[in-house]
Structure 1
């Protein structure tokens, strides 16, 4: 019997109101049934057939296990296997993790042929390419020929001319790869033999259906047994996949599994085995949080790089410390008595981190390796996996030297590097090739196993995810953008044809001063009954680390509804409940637009809205963004033209290469002027006019003049009071004669 009904049977409840109609489904609601972005009926049919084969194989294995009841042990733990074999050391398990054996789960005999693999990969728009030279590929995988053909070729080789070079299409076909895709996360244990504890953690997070990037990259990084022996070794990997498609999980699982196997090998090498580099602290912190869920119980330790952390022992630390102590003693011999009372601060006394995986930003790790750029760069001899998340930014001129220094400091001959991003240019591929070659020449060693450089592309390269609704709105002026943004804050008052965007959402600006100004303009737009100014916040790099962490935490908890920010949050940061993105200032490039709008519609969710305002000054820079929107809508299967009409694409001006570079570095020139032009400031008329036009405010010039006059009067009054003597005798400057 229901206890609640028993206790409340004397209470008369009102009749339940008729059920209201379900509201429109928001992008932040629940989880997507299938996180995959691209899938066709033919590919789903093949995947379901493979799933049925696995179920039958597992059922047969269970029946055999039930029939063989002689060796049953009724007192063993259900979570762990029975007592280890005689060959294993049962008394000393390594870091709480049992060895992944081949006996606990039976191998699947559902290896796909090349046609099936090609069908599934093509249905998910996955393209895997070997970037090595064709000569290397042919040496690694020679084509088998019959004896008759070989004899004929030997006879004709003397008289025939050399074969004609391959065409571009033939070269592309020769480089294409079709490894068996990962249809289900259960295959991680049954087929690829990853750590049992790691497989449990993956299942505990609710991951069942792999996304496209996981479907294609995990078999490559874990070593697919279905491919030839020459390709089993883990490759260097370039991955281009849409935002929110699960790239972090794709590189964390292989990295953790490799370290678990290293621990089980009883190796005496202990230290940092993997380094993950991210461009921002927010993204690095997010990777650590996701990694800690996966390493629970495996004995693997993942750490976020902090200031003052030591990552390597230096042979010159002791010498420098002795010299510094002698210099301090000679310089401070006169004040010995005063210094005795104060504790002496010893430098470099922090212990070296015992982490297996280090997640860091480029500058922080370079400063630690070079002692704040006062010593030569130290080496990381044990690192076997280097992961560059958002690699196109890390190899951009802003971070390039720092990233390459980290890359060169990893001197292990079997180092594997993987580069991940939603946008990646051809220059990144060329730089990756040259850096790998240069690093091997510098260490003067050859890798123990040959490994290729492989590129994996999901969907179309440098395109936005197809499940976002894009809106490109002409606002004419800065005041028009502000009025349009205020309409988004009140979706109930909007007309049926207007854009409806409900919080939480992000607002991106070009510079930090503009983000601060926009926040101060909007902070009182939300009524006090709904939380008032506490519901809007601003986040930028000038804030302290604890302030940034607190704002991020409150935004994830839902206490902050609207977050005004710069491109600091444009990359990698995962907000699963974002209903939309507002580009208040037009992005500096098409790649930045792809990453900004990728904060919504993540993990297969539908309905994310991306609103972009542009003014008269932005018209020369709009075409790149309009092209991205048009391609995204075509990728979704709508044929394009829903948001971007053809006449608009034809009428927008093309941007030269020089202007693109200038825009990427500095943004729109009209918004570079951050100074406020006051009444007494006299500068260039063009600069003052541009500053007034780019000011974020709805106040008229008359209101501003009145405010400035009032502020000037108050300041003059304070100055007069400060200049007046305290005794009250005011001197007017005239001579009153000699006093008696």
Structure 2
């Protein structure tokens, strides 16, 4: 079965808006199977692992079926642990962003008085551990007479932890006319006994877990701050000299923003997402296949049908929302017997999503240290040497040999000629290597900054604000992070933060300022 698009489901405008804000376009397999049945009011048994999108599979219908004018408890979600109860509550709060809903997680270890106070004010959705929910029923602080939906999340875990009697106690207190949903990774005889006793002709839905993998794909991840992802991406593209790469983002907005940043930095990049017409998508794909686009940035839905054998690397700019997406994404590289690479950028709490991916795909994704600029240059130099050897071994170089012989007649040695050609080819890169990181000499800038000479000035109608704008576009730096700017008749000076001065200067060379090609060099200290 093909996964459903949220836009095609009969959901409220508010719900669709919240789902879009969370970055989801396409339902996961368990959501695609379960949502239509649950939205129709049927009882459901869903067999699916953690990390497959179960929370939204029951959370969306719970919110859609809620009577927001009624302040009574209308839905109860039972979870095995406090951690899961909190996680489910957070997800439901995100889904209810555009509707007035009161959600309360209740669990042991938190003062019960605080929960009682919240229940008295009026709560519509309770998410809790069986023991604490039972405790509130005993205290009569939780009334169940208005409940129309009950959900058992990770039922096998709850039963393994000895909650069977507590669960049955709660189920007995709920009105007969209600909808019951049960989700579990396994289906034991005990669980099936519960469903026969408490569910009404349930739909049995099962998601078979997709196995990885493609062994020819080298998989690594980097822990990186969100604001540094762009720098890491461009660094890796340059380092591996990639000619065809796929970059995945979780939302359409992220795709557009990243494409804009990459184009600003001089890369041949374009995007694919659900808001584009079929004609636009076809045009972008045709360019990608022909190699006119080096970097294709896409959402998971838009990437359907991408079948290009020469994709050298896949980047998970955002960690995918579930492990099936991870499998689909990285399977775009390493095709036709070639070796592929998959790089995943992990920021903050995304590390937990990555652990789920590793656990269920049974693959160890190796952590790598973010490469320094010096390491990037070393790798690029090695790649260049390999290309040079290949050229010498496979190409007809008679014309070039003739030119070299003419130069040798003028008393230049073959070694000098080769060195000069290398310098011409690698020129600015070698200069960059010499000044990388802390190797900047004293340029007369304030501490922590590097002063650069730029070969344009007032005669080319350049103003300080043009330099600031160009720096902001290639790096995202605010004007307060840029040091002193002096614009003279034929040239200018600007101070850049030392930690990323090299990257910014190289990016400015590629992009230019106000449409003009520019050259930047570390300035000499004023005498």
- Fold match by TM threshold 0.5: no
The structure with more radius of gyration: 1
TM-score normalized with structure 2 length: 0.40
Greater strand fraction, Structure 1 or Structure 2: 2
TM-score normalized with structure 1 length: 0.29
Work out which structure has the larger RCO, using CA pairs closer than 8 Å and 6 or more positions apart in sequence: 1
